[in-house]
Amino acid sequence: MSARSEAVLIDVVRTPVGRGKPGGMLSGVHPVDLAAGVLAELLVRNGLESAQIDDVLLGCVSQIGDQSSNIARQAVLAAGFAETVPAATIDRQCGSSQQAVHFAAQGIIAGSYDAVIVGGVESMSRVPLGSSAAGGTPMSPRLRERYPDGLVNQGVSAELIAQRWDLDRDALDAYAAESHRRAAAAWDEGFFDRTVVPVAEALDARRDETVRAATTASGLAGLQPAFRTEALAARFPELDWRITPGNSSPLTDGASAALLMSAERAEQLGLTPRVRFRAFTVVGDDPLMMLTGPIPATQRLLDRSGLSIVDLDAYEVNEAFASVPLAWAAELGADAAKLNPRGGAIALGHALGSSGTRLLGTLVDHLEATGGRLGLQTMCEGGGMANATLIERV
């Protein structure tokens, strides 16, 4: 293995996403098998043997029940990979698979890897959000000393962001409706055909179940706030409670995966790189606001790369809630037309561990479809963190 290699992306795939509740189109598929399907697909599409893969790194947030016991290793074995292929599961909350990309690309650049598969999986229908904390609490006595009033769930953080950036209900609902419009148009145009692959255990699952083409801002206006309680209203009297199920990302099932290599190994194998990885960053931020991390993460990434926001051709900013990308755009002076141009998680779903590589695939496909060169991806994460990634089409 050579030192200071260039890290490139060869291919990226994902499942269609299903609603993350009983009866959702992927709820009958074990998450190990969801992940195994995209792993195996990458080998078939690129004519590889599993023994040519140095490592498999998968993101997964709720690592309990069906997603326990290092789900990455279980998926590698279920996919029929050689038993000699190692695997690790990563939890950086919503950015878990984006962090997997960072670890793999950084390992390639350092000369420690030649070829790595990264990705993520989450079955929120089978392993509900918050399952990992069942029977316990992450708020230890020392943590309570630092935050005596306690932290809050992400929905409340989204409310605090909407309040701070003066994002009213109309703006949030209009943004959410546009996400659905863009996603539906992308599907109708065949934009996702290259990246979305079938699920062997659910062959009728052909299109993202969460996209609602008929969504309108006026229709969303009738929904009630999702996170207000009497106790929270007393703690945050300044909030008028604008976050609803309609301007939030839905609970989702899905898996995604990407094949990364050194440029040298890709050339040896006769594989054509699609993008190179230019820069990475990860930051911590205020854990009460929690979802503002993409702002400093992007600023740091631009500083490191010597670029400004106007140099970028597209940006994928995860739509955990509509207030997150809207606040990010306001702070960065971003072009709304370049922000999540094929729709975001409000429409396409947010299968937590899978979302990082899902966004990456959308960004790569968009750059190729439009002839763009530089793309940015950033993701807010539980606990007040964020990753940012800069890619360049080759």
CA–centroid distance for 24 within its chain: 20
CA–centroid distance for 234 within its chain: 33
**DSSP-assigned letter for residue 54:** -
Residues identified as active-site: 94, 350, 380
What contacts 134, CB < 8 A, 6 or more positions away? Answer: 64
- With H, G, I as helix, E, B as strand and everything else as coil, classify residue 390: strand
What contacts 191, CB < 8 A, 6 or more positions away? Answer: 342, 365, 366, 369
For residues 219 and 216, what is the distance between their CA atoms, to the nearest angstrom?
5
Alpha helices in 310-354 (DSSP H): 323-332, 345-348
Instruction: Give strand ranges (E) for the chain.
Output: 7-14, 18-19, 55-59, 87-90, 115-123, 252-262, 275-284, 314-317, 374-381, 385-393
Q: C-alpha angle 268/269/270, rounded to 5°?
A: 95
Phi/psi-derived region of residue 215, left when phi > 0, alpha when psi is between -120 and 50, beta in every other case: beta
Q: What is the dihedral of CA 366, 368, 373, 375, to 10 degrees?
A: 30
147 token code pair: 């935050």
Nearest Cα neighbor of 357 from 178, 23, 116 is: 116
DSSP-assigned beta bridge partners for residue 256? 14, 120
For residues 248 and 135, what is the distance between their CA atoms, to the nearest angstrom?
27
For residues 275 and 389, what is the distance between their CA atoms, to the nearest angstrom?
12
87-90 and 55-59: which strand pairing? parallel
70 token code pair: 């290092």
